[in-house]
């Protein structure tokens, strides 16, 4: 659950905020798995029985549109966070795990 909260917090602090407030950012190469979007999403639905519960739009530094989405299987509590680049037809698994717990803020 800590991972889900940490990732969601990353979405709440855009890079522009960091850049304009003297926070030094850097690029890191993480061990993530990527593939064509159609097959990756099919795997989440068919193999893991996960459903998308959240989606947020963003952009890469080069201007490509990205869509980040969180997928969860409420029965097994497995979860997967992916980033989708629709222009390139590529999706990457940013993180995944088990034992997801939902915490929905008031007003959503």
What is the structure's pLDDT at 4? Answer: 44
For 47-92, the pLDDT digits (tens) are: 999 999 999 999 888 888 999 999 999 999 999 999 999 989 999 9
Q: Compute the distance between CA of residue 53 and CA of residue 66 in angstroms, rounded to an integer.
A: 17
Q: Compute the distance between CA of residue 17 and CA of residue 8 in angstroms, rounded to an integer.
A: 16
Give 93's contacts (C-beta < 8 A, 6+ positions apart): 32, 33, 34, 40, 80, 81, 82
| DSSP state letter for 95 | E
Q: Is the pLDDT of residue 7 over 80?
A: no
Q: Give the torsion sign (CA, 34, 36, 38, 42).
A: negative
Q: Which class is 2-97 in CATH?
A: alpha beta
What is the structure's pLDDT at 19? Answer: 54
Q: Name the pTM for this structure.
A: 0.71
């Amino acid at each position: 659950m800590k991972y889900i909260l940490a990732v969601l917090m990353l979405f709440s602090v855009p890079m522009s905020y960091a850049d304009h407030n003297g926070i030094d950012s850097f690029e890191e190469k993480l061990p993530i798995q990527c593939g064509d979007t159609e097959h990756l999403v099919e795997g989440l639905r068919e193999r893991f029985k996960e459903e998308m519960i959240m989606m947020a739009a963003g952009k890469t530094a080069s201007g490509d549109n990205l869509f980040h989405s969180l997928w969860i299987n409420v029965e097994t509590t497995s979860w997967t966070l992916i980033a989708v680049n629709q222009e390139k037809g590529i999706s990457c698994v940013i993180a995944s795990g088990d034992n997801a717990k939902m915490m929905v803020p008031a007003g959503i």
